[in-house]
């Protein structure tokens, strides 16, 4: 595992261990939210493609990255690419994903579902929803992910008692191509 993602993961793990020592609050709230974009997709059909071979490999890499944890909740959109990305984790853990439709309030509905959960939550979204969900969970405002960016993973420890959320940007699986984070114009989903 490259040093940067390992350091990031260790930082979040340390934060999570510290949070475990805090007494439970009156309302449910996740201890850690892991947000990723779906894996690489087939070029067709344009409206709802399945994962490509690279996307299937990325889904397997996601499960490997999460080997040390079992999400209590998995959230996906109704698109095949998010469902297929989460499927390997679902098979290992037995956790059935919550499907939230892509509509004007998608980000708000995902954030609400996440904040009602407890434990570790995995969210598999899209290039334009993952950063917005990080923001909705109390993280900083982030730009959409670029079309060629698939390796990005956000680890969010939601804030408690008025504290800001802690956010770590990391990576998993095969690295994105050089320049994949340098995009202009329209973003892909």
Q: Is residue 32 a contact partner of residue 156, using CB atoms and an 8 Å limit?
A: yes
**pLDDT tier, 36 (very low <50, low <70, confident <90, very high otherwise):** very high
- Enter the DSSP assignment of 31: E
Residue 18 lies in a domain: no
Which position has the higher pLDDT, 90 or 163?
A: 90
Q: Could you tell me if residue 136 is inside a domain?
A: yes
Q: Which H/E stretch holds residue 82?
A: helix 80-93
Residue 46 lies in a domain: yes
- Structural domain containing residue 126: 30-171
pLDDT in the model for residue 100:
98
Query: What percentage of the chain reaches a pLDDT higher than 90?
Result: 74
| Residue 55 burial (C-beta neighbours within 10 Å; 0-12, 13-18, 19+) | buried
Given a cut of 60, whether residue 5 has pLDDT beyond it is: no
Q: What total of structural domains would you count in the chain?
A: 1
Q: Does position 19 have pLDDT exceeding 60, yes or no?
A: no
CATH number for position 113: 3.40.50.1240
Render 88-141 in DSSP notation, one character per residue: HHHHHH-PPPEE---STTHHHHHHHHHHH--EEEEEEE-TTTHHHHHHHTT---
**What pLDDT shows up at residue 188?**
53
Whether 3 is covered by a domain: the verdict is no
């Amino acid at each position: 595992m490259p040093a940067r993602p390992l350091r990031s993961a260790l930082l979040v793990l340390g934060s999570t261990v510290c949070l475990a020592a805090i007494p439970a609050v009156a309302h449910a709230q996740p201890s850690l939210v892991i947000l990723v974009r779906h894996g690489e997709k087939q070029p067709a059909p344009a409206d709802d493609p399945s994962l490509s071979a690279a996307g299937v490999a990325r889904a397997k890499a996601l499960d490997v990255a999460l080997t040390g944890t079992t999400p209590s909740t998995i959230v996906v959109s109704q698109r095949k690419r998010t469902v297929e990305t989460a499927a390997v984790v679902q098979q290992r853990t037995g956790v059935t994903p919550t499907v939230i439709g892509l509509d004007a309030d998608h980000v708000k509905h995902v954030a609400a579902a996440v904040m009602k959960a407890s434990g570790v939550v995995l969210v598999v979204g899209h290039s334009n929803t993952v950063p917005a969900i990080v923001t909705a969970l109390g993280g900083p405002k982030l730009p959409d992910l670029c079309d060629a960016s698939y390796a990005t993973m956000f680890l969010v420890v939601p804030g408690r008692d008025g504290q800001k959320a802690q956010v770590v940007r990391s990576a998993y699986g095969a690295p994105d191509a050089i320049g994949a984070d340098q995009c202009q114009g329209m973003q892909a989903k």
